[in-house]
Amino acid sequence: MNEQRIQDIVATVLAQLGENNIQPSAITKVIDATANAANQASGLSAASGESLPDLGDKCFKNWNGIENAAEPKVVEDLISQTDARVGTGRTGPRPRTTALLRFLADHSRSKDTVIKNVESSWLQERGLMEIQTCARDKDEYLTRPDMGRKLNDEAKALLKAKCKHAPQVQVVLSDGLSLDAVTVNHDEILPPLLNGLKNAGLDVGTPFFLRYGRVKAQDEIGMLLNAEINILLIGERPGLGQSESLSCYAIYKPTDNTVESDRTVISNIHAGGTPPVEAAAVIVDLVKTMLDKKASGINLKR
């Protein structure tokens, strides 16, 4: 917002309050030294009139907020080795401004990725059929976990009509609790995974997207399609500052009596954890082992 626009807003408000003879005055800009230092680190001048910097940028994640440290190199080494919030410094008992703003920004992003929905147009561009659980919307999905464990009638009909029956491996992608986990990782995990399974000589079912899905929904999908192995790629609960984490749940011949210990899980699939392409290779090896042992979960380790 430029200076003239600010002056106009101030004049309008004062006029409504009955003030007359309003004279324009200079606007004083207050610049926080800590924030200004971070701006300079990102190449943005605080007085340049440009947009504020993105607090998710690497320079902020690796920002050292401890002033006059006895051993600065020790703090810098610690910051470089972890994504945890270390070395942010403090002002008395309070956090530094940049540290607080980054915390609030990360918290907002984590909430956003839970609430937002994957666009149907995005799925169509990638050739993914979409089905839905019994949860009618995101609010019901969050407040009624049981509704996300069952498919609605339309979904059941679509699966029977459009999906390959009795494949060795059925792959399902679901939003779960993170939109970012799906949109950020899709291109680096789903195509390599499908290609890897096919190159291994396996019969792969029709991949599709499950909206408002919970992990338990893969059991009903596996039974409906009579898939030997069901692979569910689903968004995890977002961590603070980490909203892109995807999990893989693999199960051998699920039934109505399946319990959670029957599943094999690979979690923290994202650029900062297990890279998606690497995870795809690990899942292919896992599938071959499950087919060989005819088991998953704790039964796979017996």
Residue range 158-197, pLDDT digits in tens: 999 999 999 999 999 999 999 999 999 999 999 999 999 9
With a pLDDT cut of 70, the percent of the chain lying above it is 85
Q: What is the pLDDT of residue 47?
A: 45
Phi/psi of residue 158, nearest 5 degrees: -65, -40
d(CA 30, CA 38) in angstroms, rounded, equals 15
Q: What is the pLDDT of residue 58?
A: 72
Q: What is the pLDDT of residue 51?
A: 66
User: 31-115 and 120-301: same fold?
Assistant: no
Going edge to edge, which strands form the sheet with 229-235?
129-132, 208-211, 169-174, 229-235, 246-252, 264-269
Residue 42, pLDDT above cutoff 70: no
- Check residues 199 and 23 and name the one with the higher pLDDT: 199
230-285 pLDDT tens trace: 999 999 999 887 889 999 999 999 999 999 999 999 999 999 899 999 999 999 99
Tokens of residue 226, six digits? 């009579």
- Check residues 97 and 39 and name the one with the higher pLDDT: 97
Q: What is the pLDDT of residue 83?
A: 78
Name the class of domain 120-301: alpha beta
Are 80 and 65 in contact, with CB atoms under 8 Å apart? Answer: no
Going from N- to C-terminal start, the domains of the chain cover 31-115, 120-301
Reported confidence tier of residue 24, pLDDT bands at 50, 70, 90? low
Name the class of domain 31-115: mainly alpha
- Check residues 97 and 30 and name the one with the higher pLDDT: 97
Query: Is 244 annotated as contributing to ligand binding?
Result: no
Place of tokens 């918290």: 107
Can you say how many angstroms the Cα of residue 258 is from the centroid of all Cα atoms in its chain? 27
Q: What is the pLDDT of residue 45?
A: 46
Reported confidence tier of residue 19, pLDDT bands at 50, 70, 90? low
Of the candidates 217, 190, 295, the residue with the CA atom closest to the CA atom of residue 251: 295
Are 185 and 244 in contact, with CB atoms under 8 Å apart? Answer: yes
Q: What is the pLDDT of residue 18?
A: 66
Q: What is the pLDDT of residue 272?
A: 84
d(CA 102, CA 271) in angstroms, rounded, equals 20
Query: Is 215 annotated as contributing to ligand binding?
Result: yes
